[in-house]
Structure 1
Amino acid sequence: MINSSPGTSQTRSITQTSISQTRSFTTVSLIEMWERFGYYGMAALLVLFMIDKIGFADDHANLTWGAFTALVFSAPSIGGWIGDKVLGARRTMIAGAIVLACGYLMLALPVDTLGFMYASLGVIVVGNGLFKSNAANLVRRIFEGDDARIDSAFTIYYMAVNIGSTFSMLATPWIKDHWGWHAAFAVCCGGMLLGLLNFALLRRSLAHVGSAPDDEPLRGSRVFAVIAGSLALAASTVFILQHKQVAVACVYAAGVAILAIFGFMLKTCDRSERAGLIAALILTLQVILFFVFYQQMSTSLTLFALRNVDPAFSIGGIALFTWSAAQFQALNPIWIMVLSPLLAFVYARQARRGRDMPVAAKYALGFVVVAIGFFVFGLSGRYAVEGRVSSWFMVAGYGLYSFGELLVSGLGLAMIARYVPARMGGFMMGAFFVATGVSQYLGSVVANFARMPAGNLDAAQSLPLYTHLFFGLGWLAAGGAVVAIALLPLLGKLSRAHQQATQAASRRESLAPAPISLNAKNV
């Protein structure tokens, strides 16, 4: 008998592990893609729906959207804990997908009352809370211990998200124009159902991936507790959306909660884990600033496109096609899809050469690019014709903004995966989403600096409101870049300390003697 060499056996094991990782990663990415199809299809329309069908003024619609997205992004902190400790990450993700489908179905029903809209949004908050952090945590567990691939994996994961959002942001406004608002929301529900079908067909590839409760029998008492908590969260969402003062108080409370969570983790963690958690805290604060810019896509940039952007794309005086205001949001995921593979290739290549750029440096570069993008939006007003700017300014501005998004938001989850211990993974993913939720509301407050005054203004009168806001956002992003660059030495020191502690812990584990099993033969 010819035995294979140890080297051959080890190579085969590595290859099999890589194939298994790819299959599992593909399954999570696909259901995330369809979930984002549903969410961003709704997001492209909701502010305009509130203005057109519910009768909200600009500032009311912006702040309602901000409060809703703050809740949408904060709820995963609870869902992450449920996935880690109660139901399991895999089960909780699927439960969230089912609830989201129900929320989109409610929006698809031909009921245009304010209370029913709030109830629909409450269900969506619950579904996203159960889904979001657990899907990201599964990706983290798939590549656990493989730092060389984790930045690249999360960049590709981010691209999968944007494939779904691209098609929905292009499709739902077009469907709305031809068949109405509720038909467009029905498409969002259909996308989520396709995601569930996709998971059912590929679920075996995730059978070995999940948190500890995934391997335990499902307990009825736990399921009942989650259902009761979900109903309470949905009811709380309806109440918060109806009361601006309560929404503001919740935002402040969430901000304090983020700091409390990190403080608790720093106090209870091992000394070797502290440097990584401090680095994660600093970078999370930078992400909060970034999402102020991100929130403009559904608020000020969409209203700018509605009132001050020429909807026709032309080259040399020849009209190519026309977009509605909501469809301009699709420029963001289109650019993400174009840029993601390039960045993933660069990350992987630099990692192989041992010259990977630190996450903190990527964040700093991201703020520089975002600043340039908003300056482009602001400068577009100088070339306006009768108050309307060329649609190509939107293409250029969104391209720069999206590049910055990949460098900051696209690596946010990878940053948590890199610096936070695995046992805290789901909960800290949730804390990261709480941080983004806080900044979503702050972004809506910022968007209202360009709110329309009482009475309708023509394009020439509304244009300065938006360009002034965009210049201000450009300078804010430039300030964020300066701070990020100033923090690079500190973050470099923390990153090195975290890496050394991780390597030391790995060596201790490899040198530790295997536990002796006291079975009958040993005795």
Structure 2
Amino acid sequence: MFKNHPKGLAVLFFTEMWERFGFYTMIAIFVYYLQENFKWDQATVTNIYGIFMAGVYFTPILGGWIADNVLGYGKTIIFGAIVMGIGYAIMAIPTDNSYLVFAGLFVIAIGNGMFKANISVLVGNLYGHSEISLKDAGYNIFYMGINVGAFYAPFAAAGIKSFLMNNFGATLAQGYNAGFGIASIGMIFSLIIFTAFRKYYQQADYQSKKEVKVEKDVVLTKQQEKERIIALLTVFGIVIFFWMAFHQNGAALSLFARDYTHQFVGKFTYLLFDVVSLHAILFAIFGLAALLKKSNSSKIKSFGGIFTLAGLSLLIYKISSLPESGKISPEQFQAFNPMFIVLITPIIINYFSKLNKKGKEPSSPAKIGIGMLITAIAYVIMIIASLGLAPVYTLNGSTSAITVSPFYLIGTYFTLTIAELHLSPMGLSFVSKVAPPKMKGLLMGGWFGATATGNYLAGFVGRFYQEWELWQFFLILIVCAALASLMVVFTLKKLKSATS
């Protein structure tokens, strides 16, 4: 996977993997914890969620400026990792004091701001300005690392919660506190990897205000800088609508999973919610892919066969040992997005690589537009799932008497994942290609600032989830995503010229 890429990519891959493991462990239980511990209603909780997510993604603008002008990328990332770990530790303290929780959230947001944009800049700095296509693939691989960590996060959160409740009599809220503790441990691993293997990425770690590396950065005129900044601001405005729709996974989609989705499923469906079974499926799929790829050596094919056999054997064992039905937790749905990214990323990389060889690979802005259109399609699935279901305001805090198959949500997450892979890593790559060298950190922070705006709107729009008919809520998301896709079409020529 890392073949032909700089060695530093692997270090940043695993650094980000553990950081995102911590973050998504927290996100998997965040909404549930606030409701359980403080008994707040859905409107209050989703509003807090939106404000927090906005803070998490606005602070990288500050973090990027600090890296560009004061500390450099590496030191800023280390500072952010330490601060985030402290924030998760604060959240792990059982308390009835909401101010302590808000303090923890504030600390996490600040730490994330120092970390998030700058590690993304480091990835881009590993590549020369002549390696545009390779840089796209590098960001796809890096993005896969994000989601390997995110894949394990909900299982860790659910596992520690269940373990403490079943064996030590912990309350549900205390189980969630333990999940925040696991998030803090994830940050420790991230920090160790980043500091221990610095030699592999140190050539990419510089303070851009003081140093422009000619072999990495293009020297621009003032007019070119202006055109590139305008192009970036245009993209930032467009992707706001994607993140508004996508981050319903932590708000409306999480609540739909809890209130409208079957809690008990058959054994074959339960396989998708069992961490061991999921590993067996992944082993079998990746093993089979290695076995069937013609260009692989006989040694790699042998390992592929072993992995396939091991995965299938474990899967057969799990099927035979599982009961006819099993109970699923709503937070487990959070694992599907990262799992699909792990599965689909190699396919996307290979697909675009083949198009590139034929001279037909879409530009990064075009990929973003395609991603917006696929986002709209994802919420069509949710409209279908919502037909015949009572609106939230009629439930009075209970679950719906009529529930639907979990495959509606699984299908939605699958489609959103395809959209995300067309949009998010390509957006990071686009910023890295287009941002003027002395403003890389700041403008990468701008990308996350656009994400922040979308995240805030996710919480703001999420309030209407309990006030409208379900299909009306999901229709709004479809319309916004479709309009954003049209905006890309109308501005595509100018966006493409920014990278020329």
Conservation of the 8 A alpha-carbon contact between 1:288 and 1:438: yes
| 1:366 paired to 2:371 | yes
- In the alignment, the residues of structure 2 paired with residue 215 and residue 321 of structure 1 have an alpha-carbon distance, to the nearest angstrom, of 59
Q: How does 1:467-478 map to 2 (within 5 A)?
A: 467-478=471-482
| 1:407 paired to 2:422 | yes
Determine which of 1, 12, 15 is the counterpart of 1:28. Answer: 12
Conservation of the 8 A alpha-carbon contact between 1:272 and 1:498: no
Q: How does 1:179-190 map to 2 (within 5 A)?
A: 179=164, 180-190=175-185
Distance change (3 Å), C-alpha of 1:215 and 1:478: closer
Shift of residue 492, structure 1, vs aligned partner: 2.3
For 1:109, what is the secondary structure of its paired residue?
Answer: coil
Shift of residue 39, structure 1, vs aligned partner: 0.6
Which deviates more, 116-125 or 207-216?
Answer: 207-216
TM-score if structure 1 supplies the norm length? 0.75
- 1:484 corresponds in structure 2 to 488
Shift of residue 388, structure 1, vs aligned partner: 0.5
Conservation of the 8 A alpha-carbon contact between 1:106 and 1:120: yes
- In the alignment, the residues of structure 1 paired with residue 343 and residue 98 of structure 2 have an alpha-carbon distance, to the nearest angstrom, of 39
- In the alignment, the residues of structure 2 paired with residue 475 and residue 74 of structure 1 have an alpha-carbon distance, to the nearest angstrom, of 25
Shift of residue 346, structure 1, vs aligned partner: 2.0
- In the alignment, the residues of structure 2 paired with residue 149 and residue 330 of structure 1 have an alpha-carbon distance, to the nearest angstrom, of 28
- 1:60 corresponds in structure 2 to 44
- 1:432 corresponds in structure 2 to 447
- In the alignment, the residues of structure 2 paired with residue 320 and residue 152 of structure 1 have an alpha-carbon distance, to the nearest angstrom, of 41
Determine which of 56, 65, 87 is the counterpart of 1:103. Answer: 87
Q: How does 1:157-236 map to 2 (within 5 A)?
A: 157-179=142-164, 180-212=175-207
Determine which of 332, 341, 357 is the counterpart of 2:337. Answer: 332
Distance change (3 Å), C-alpha of 1:388 and 1:467: farther
Shift of residue 483, structure 1, vs aligned partner: 3.0
- 1:284 corresponds in structure 2 to 236
| 1:348 paired to 2:350 | no
Conservation of the 8 A alpha-carbon contact between 1:279 and 1:491: no
Deviations 1:191-241 (A, max 9, x none): 11111222233222122221238999xxxxxxxxxxxxxxxxxxxxxxxxx
Shift of residue 113, structure 1, vs aligned partner: 1.4
- 2:110 corresponds in structure 1 to 126
Conservation of the 8 A alpha-carbon contact between 1:290 and 1:409: no
- In the alignment, the residues of structure 2 paired with residue 432 and residue 64 of structure 1 have an alpha-carbon distance, to the nearest angstrom, of 22
- In the alignment, the residues of structure 1 paired with residue 410 and residue 3 of structure 2 have an alpha-carbon distance, to the nearest angstrom, of 37
Deviations 1:146-168 (A, max 9, x none): 11211111111111100001101
Conservation of the 8 A alpha-carbon contact between 2:241 and 2:480: no
- In the alignment, the residues of structure 2 paired with residue 495 and residue 316 of structure 1 have an alpha-carbon distance, to the nearest angstrom, of 46
Conservation of the 8 A alpha-carbon contact between 2:67 and 2:207: no
- In the alignment, the residues of structure 2 paired with residue 319 and residue 470 of structure 1 have an alpha-carbon distance, to the nearest angstrom, of 33
- 1:149 corresponds in structure 2 to 134
Distance change (3 Å), C-alpha of 1:214 and 1:397: same
- In the alignment, the residues of structure 1 paired with residue 193 and residue 403 of structure 2 have an alpha-carbon distance, to the nearest angstrom, of 43
Query: Where does structure 1 lack aligned partners over 5 or more consecutive residues?
Result: 1-16, 217-267, 453-463, 500-523
Deviations 1:364-405 (A, max 9, x none): 211221111111011013377942110111111110011111
Conservation of the 8 A alpha-carbon contact between 1:87 and 1:214: no
Larger Rg: 1
| 1:74 paired to 2:58 | yes
Deviations 1:86-143 (A, max 9, x none): 1110111011111111111111122231011011111101110111111001001111
Percentage identity across paired residues of the two chains? 29
TM-score if structure 2 supplies the norm length? 0.78
- In the alignment, the residues of structure 2 paired with residue 357 and residue 81 of structure 1 have an alpha-carbon distance, to the nearest angstrom, of 31
Letter in 2 for 1:492: K
Letter in 2 for 1:401: L
Aligned residues: 417
Shift of residue 423, structure 1, vs aligned partner: 1.9
- In the alignment, the residues of structure 2 paired with residue 176 and residue 92 of structure 1 have an alpha-carbon distance, to the nearest angstrom, of 33
- In the alignment, the residues of structure 2 paired with residue 40 and residue 316 of structure 1 have an alpha-carbon distance, to the nearest angstrom, of 26
- In the alignment, the residues of structure 1 paired with residue 483 and residue 377 of structure 2 have an alpha-carbon distance, to the nearest angstrom, of 12
For 1:423, what is the secondary structure of its paired residue?
Answer: helix
- In the alignment, the residues of structure 2 paired with residue 137 and residue 310 of structure 1 have an alpha-carbon distance, to the nearest angstrom, of 42
Conservation of the 8 A alpha-carbon contact between 1:80 and 1:430: yes
Distance change (3 Å), C-alpha of 1:494 and 1:52: closer
Shift of residue 498, structure 1, vs aligned partner: 4.1
Shift of residue 473, structure 1, vs aligned partner: 1.6
Conservation of the 8 A alpha-carbon contact between 1:87 and 1:213: no
Distance change (3 Å), C-alpha of 1:449 and 1:383: closer
- 2:437 corresponds in structure 1 to 422
| 1:375 paired to 2:380 | yes
